[in-house]
Structure 1
């Protein structure tokens, strides 16, 4: 504890032992911080313009992250968590790929395929189903925020009747821009009513007419009907043909890392915001604790470093700002929630 106190005093508090020059704002420390900023910025640019655009990383990680974000919203609204379903995931992937390939964004495709067409393609039998779509987003938080800001999409996310979910992601072009299409499908499997095998009416052989015996002393014989074995019919419930994903729950650490990787702008904003606050704090301490003893270079370095961090923060926000689209009445007239016929 004493060592930490001494370190904090040396790096942030101007006093005689550090010549009233806090080490945090000295030349060496500022260069190290600037180097860290450059590493963070390069990582951000590589993630956005290389990993997201040129690899399938987003398609591999985003569905799990969006499922987690969806379940977080459901938990806040007292709805049970959704389970990922392989059939729904396949149907969602087919829908996302169809939009990406044919460059449209709507619940109904240009040739009239409704959302329920994709459920049927994978033989997912449902009693209740829904579809959410998104395009033109930059990170996972953008998608979740856009859906929650849309009343109809939010209704799908927090609907307590749904039990399963599937998410598909595909890269494509929309309105002349490279982008990522997301299809999120919800479902409640249909339970087929029990069917009973047709009952067979037992056939009882008719009793033969006793033959008239000749007039002898032997008594007449009567034919006894052969007993019919009793048949008990069982009931068989045709369970829905769904396959649930049998994967272990991801740890909190793994999920947090995936969220950070699919939300690079937010992650970098947190990092830069923390740095900016730390720099401001060090400047205030350096300026006011010993107001009568000032070192212009110390203040200048702090101001310059703060300016660089803030400039990069706003540049990243400006560069990565996209208006996430979700289907509205002017894009499609289809309702995104329906009971199966």
Structure 2
């Protein structure tokens, strides 16, 4: 404390003492207590100021420490990446990514996932015959659910139509075509045995490259002409067949869906709808009700012709149909809401295997070309061998459904 401050302080004390002598004892005590409180408050302000300075110093130190930790952390990550991928003197020019121990880890993971995927596929669809049974039954059920929701009579599975659908499917596989008409121009309804099923209405839907009945049904319901067949009130019977075989040089599943109404059922329905003022129509022997050479019956298409109708503008965006050759509609099933568990397993496993191939290829190329003068032949060979094995596991398909295209085709 300076001389002037000490002097001022002493003068203040003398003045304060003289004031106290002039006051009564009680007032003296009050004034002393007030002076003490003021002194304590001043000390409190000084202490608070010191605390603020201390906190500020601590905060600054903490920020500096956090920044140092962050820099150290980033430096460690960068150093770890260098050691893992890039050859240098710190890893003896042997990146950890392509060392034998890590390569074994990669192979074990890839093999385990491949075994799991293959096992799941065989558990779901043990054979093409099992797939055919599941899909044919479910497709009929889904069609009837749609009809029931609209108050339309449900379809009955007809063995004659089922046999016709199977014959048509086998013919397409045997002769390698996908169309309503045969290569000779025979119409779809010629497959139906007229002696066993004397039809007056008939329709056909076709599909290939599918892994579930839900995918097929969703695609049919979003195509105006296929939907028309499923919800046609004139149809009373249905027959569905699924065949697995080679079409267009690749393995695929093919579905044929026949709709129909026999003459007897049509007449019975007409009798039920007849009123007293409307006489029963006379049917001449040997003729078909309303049939014309153009394939139209009673104002309805005898056979579905999706190739003449393009998808409407109000088709949902996730359908994304595209016109293909000969009127085939291509459906991107990867955007479908009805993707099955089987399709998801195949899709994500393929993504994983492809990522592993890219990872191993990149790591091997970095190891070879970054320090091309410093090479360890053993490391190079084992990394390339692991890459070849993973690529082989990715390309080899053990289950028939893995070979099916991810794009569903309907006609």
TM-score by length of 1: 0.46
Higher RCO (CA-CA < 8 Å; seq separation 6+): 1
TM-score by length of 2: 0.38
Which is greater in Rg?
2
